[in-house]
Amino acid sequence: MDQSFEEGIRLRKQASALRPIQTKVQNRSSSELTSNDGSHHQEINGEDNDRDQPVSPAGQLFHEPNFNVHILAIMGCKTKIDVAVVRANLPHTLLKHPRFSSFPVVDQEKGGEMKWVRRKVDLDKHVITPEVDLSNYKECPDKYVEDYIYNLTKTSVDKSRPLWDLHILNVKTSAAEGVGIFRIHHSLGDGISLMSLLLACTRQTSDPVALPTLPTKKPDTNNWKRFGFFDTRSFVGFIFGLWWVLKLFWNTLLDVLMFAGTALLLVKDTNTPIKGPPGSEKNPRRIVYKIVSLDDMKLVKNAMNTTINDVALGATQAGLSKYLNRRYGIENQNDEGETERKNNLPKKIRLRSILFVNIRPSSGIQALADMMEKNTKAKWGNSFAYVLLPFTIGLRDDPLDYVREAKSTIDRKKHSLEALFTFSIIGLVFKFFGLKSASSLFQRLFSSTTMAFSNVVGPLEEIGFYGHPMAYLSANSYGQANELVICIQSYVNKMSVSLSVDENTIPDPYQLCDDIVESLKLIKHTIIEKGLIK
């Protein structure tokens, strides 16, 4: 990475602290906001409720030093990105959303209350097009993009202006002609809302006026019909319904107790080679990703009567098992061949992931597009809960067992109200004990678990970002206390497997990514060999 870029990063890091600002404006005809250092911030014209919206408790949490989380959306385009076209379109789309033209301030007159204050956006400070120097990356320009993102994770967005930036790298890589990197502070909204908003700025390449479409999940009512649950005259239906309710209650009770035990540090994950010491949230992250075929995952899904999420989780479990077996073998000083063949895994490894669950309906792409184009209202913010998802770690003779185990785990979690209860518990902590206690609770949750996992659904058809056809879409984050974050993102007939890792703990993220991808291929080949294709 060139020196000028690294120096710029350091300067922005020094200016990123959230400064107390007086927000009382009723006595100022100019609608100016004055910071403690005497500088002024000019508001844009808008509704009062847009100017003085309070930052939600969840949004405030993401401004805590130990939870300064940023979301990265990486867009590979099939053509070079015309910066002028992007800059011309942003004011008519993304910037119409209040959160992308607002920044957080602390109201000293109201006990330090944090509010969103709208201001005019200076695109020169948000759309960044660095001079690309590939002299050290001639053989692998992909590494330039990777190192650029790595350096981004060393910093935070400047909190004296709207909390986002877009980095445009017109670098020809193995999969794209140009790469756009959106960096968005998590306090602006949760991953589902932010991804929907970004997709609302795109259009289908086959129809330049049509918004992307996302796959919809149809409710499965076969089990209810099979057992006659809704037929009160059926004794079998009554018994099944009673068992269903009792099982739901029992699963929820166990999950809530496990959540409480984890938050109180009574239940901790096994200290495996991919679990590092506390304090890793401030370390930079190496983000690596690979593009696989979504059709391969659909083949496995149809053959095993599961979901794409089950297949993704099963391949991840298989890859983690293979990777950990190798790491334990190296620690035991086995030679490479023996490490691959021998089972080096300890018995009863507890390895859990924090799974983020959206607990309210998504605003939807159409609603967000209408909000930007017609100034209509749409629900926004951080509204999510946490589910503790156990991963089964072990070597299996049949690769399909990983998918079967994943399906069993997901089905068990679906039959529980864990997400609603954890959301309520966190809300009560915010209300009665304050932000610091909630921040401490989250810190304990992350330090007691090993990783975070998410599966984000992307558009069904090829899309263009302001006229630039997209080759792939990948997402991840940095700033949380887990040393490993795995994000699965679909796009048309492709699936990106993205890892965000702390290299102090996972020095070979490419190997781990390869293990997950190779595990998926092995599962697919096993399906074919067994003749299970439907």
Beta-strand ranges (E) seen in 226-300 are 286-293
Among all residues, which ones are annotated catalytic?
186
The residue whose two tokens read 């099979």 is 226
Please report, in angstroms and rounded to a whole number, the separation of the first and last CA atoms in the chain: 49
| Cα 534 to Cα 522: distance, rounded to the nearest angstrom | 18
User: Burial, 298: exposed, middle or buried (Cβ in 10 Å; 0-12, 13-18, 19+)?
Assistant: middle
| Cα 153 to Cα 183: distance, rounded to the nearest angstrom | 10
DSSP 56: P
User: Burial, 388: exposed, middle or buried (Cβ in 10 Å; 0-12, 13-18, 19+)?
Assistant: buried
Is the distance from CB of 478 to CB of 500 less than 8 angstroms?
yes
DSSP helix/strand/coil, 165: strand
Calculate the dihedral angle through the C-alpha atoms of 366, 369, 375, 380, rounding to the nearest 10 degrees.
80
Q: How many residues does the chain have?
A: 534
| Cα 64 to Cα 256: distance, rounded to the nearest angstrom | 25
DSSP helix/strand/coil, 117: strand
Helices 294-304 + 400-414 axis angle, to 10: 80
The residue whose two tokens read 């029992």 is 250
